[in-house]
A and B are shown apart, each in its own frame.
Chain A
Amino acid sequence: MSSENKIYFYPIWLRTWHGINALGIIILIITGITMNSGMEKSLISFNLNIKLHNYTGAIVSLNYLLFFIGNLVTNNKKFYIVKPKNFLKRPMKQAYYYAWGMFHGMKAPYPLSENRKFNPLQKYFYIIIMYLAVPLVIISGIGLMFPEVIFNKIYDISGVLITAVIHSAMGFFISIFLVIHLYVASIGKSPLDNFKGILNGWHHI
């Protein structure tokens, strides 16, 4: 579906998932950093902070199912398919555009269209985050909630520590992704255009 220079990129199920995910991830990052740093003094009590992290984690995990199944049953999955040809060259070209080209009159090398929702660099990041980091953070989170399922130790390192480190390391990468995601989203027709797009579903090309 498209009209003039607009494409209806974000159907309602996707925007619902994205909205819940965005709010959830922000809460998880804030409460997660508080727990990891052992900050006892914050807006809410430390114990409430832990509970909030648990509840939000469960909601975001369930929400992930919406993302996963939504992609499985709709056409949206095609945007995540990686072409083996020029596997590294394509994202490098996009990175070059962001770092140098866009300031020197270069046109976007991979303009978005009905068939291309993400540029190659964006696609790689999304795949790594959504199909590696998020599943890992969910699995390790479940592990920490039910620690009896965690292996006792690998060599001399306790399983609980390994799980906790994986959980917070993945949480950290997701946080870094969020910062970059928000910033890159401001590179559009206007700085706020892409943010409007994810709310109303229409993307300006």
Chain B
Amino acid sequence: MRFITFVLLFILIPGRTQPLAAQSYDDPKNHTCLQCHSQQAYAFHNDLMDKQEKRLMNPYYILDTIAIRNGVHQNFDCTDCHSFEYSTYPHTATLKLEPMATCLDCHGGDEAFAKYEFDKIDEEFHKSVHYQVYGDNFTCSKCHSQHTYHPSARNSSSITEIVENSNNMCLSCHNDMRKFELVADSAIATVVDIHSWLPNQELHFQHVRCIECHTAVEDDLMVSHNILSKDHAVRRCAECHSANSLLKASLYKYQNLQERAEDGSLLGVLSHENYVIGSHQIPILKTLSLIIFFAVIGGIIVHGIFRIILKK
């Protein structure tokens, strides 16, 4: 479908177009878009004045080509998502008003992406405070940069890296008032101040993802997208720091499902190495079980001695 659109656009759009060299992020200087959008300043020929000009690029529109090259969308060219008309300069003013392709246009309801559960994510997101308060203007890309995104929770084995990547998504707005005001009407107090009640704040921030406390625990989704309002955030230390931790249950389910995704055969299921401690997690049950056990053994010994003495 995209290919047909592409062909149609190519045929129908008149005017000064330049051939787009797809997948040439490695060589931004020769890429139609990146020759300007990866540079601090860009040059163009001003047809009106008939002179060569050089201007500063809006810093928000400068793209990190190395990050793009490492992102999940590295194989796509700019115009796969952006209007093909952007290949002319100056860009037509009305282009800004046109709707942009959204993530679910490609990722929604597609078998190839089923394992990422985009539809469930979308459903969860619609329950989240982000959507409830800011509606459709809060898009996926507010957190997941479509240009540079790479899924660390899935690929990385370093918890610190996963935590850092995840938290940076939140902090890109919650610690940056300019971006925060895109969706909120007013500035908020800084993250550090809001969390001043949290003991060992720095350690928590380095080793725990924001979403661990700020989302509803969803066992069957890898990353919960139902961001709760701050009134519902976890504040009780015991929710994590206890034997009965919902987080632990969620992790057990996750590990189990992951292993089964790799090998779902019967033998594969039986060969799993994940386990969960049962009653020994609960000190009183552990004590009780030891008491019962030794009482039974004691009873048997006494009975046995009587049987030996009385030869029964």
Residue contacts A-B, CB under 8 angstroms, 24 given = A55-B270, A58-B270, A103-B307, A103-B312, A145-B272, A146-B256, A147-B252, A147-B253, A147-B256, A148-B220, A150-B253, A152-B217, A158-B245, A158-B246, A160-B252, A161-B248, A164-B276, A164-B277, A165-B278, A168-B278, A172-B279, A180-B296, A180-B300, A183-B303
A183 in contact with B300 (CB, 8 Å): yes
B285 at the interface (CB under 8 A from A): yes
Q: Which partner residue on chain A sits nearest B289 by CB separation?
A: A172
Q: Which residues of B contact A99 (CB under 8 A)?
A: 303
- The CA-CA distance from A175 to B297 in the complex, in Å, is 12
Q: Which partner residue on chain B sits nearest A104 by CB separation?
A: B310
- Which one of B278, B285, B304 contacts A183 once the chains associate, using CB atoms below 8 Å? B304
Also in contact, A157 and B244, with CB within 8 A (given A145-B272, A180-B296): yes
A5 at the interface (CB under 8 A from B): no
Q: Which residues of B contact A103 (CB under 8 A)?
A: 306-307, 310, 312
* Known pairs A36-B279, A50-B274, A99-B303 / 9 extra A-B pairs, C-beta < 8 Å: A36-B280, A54-B269, A54-B271, A144-B276, A147-B257, A158-B248, A160-B252, A161-B244, A164-B278
CB proximity of B173 to chain A, nearest CB, Å: 30
Q: How many A-B residue pairs have CB under 8 A?
A: 116
A165 in contact with B249 (CB, 8 Å): no
A153 at the interface (CB under 8 A from B): yes
- Which one of B253, B272, B278, B304 contacts A36 once the chains associate, using CB atoms below 8 Å? B278
- The CA-CA distance from A147 to B269 in the complex, in Å, is 12
Q: Which residues of B contact A37 (CB under 8 A)?
A: 280
Residue-wise, chain A 95-121 has the 8 Å CB interface mask toward B (1 for contact) of 000110011000000000000000000
A54 in contact with B279 (CB, 8 Å): no
Also in contact, A148 and B310, with CB within 8 A (given A158-B249, A167-B278, A168-B279): no
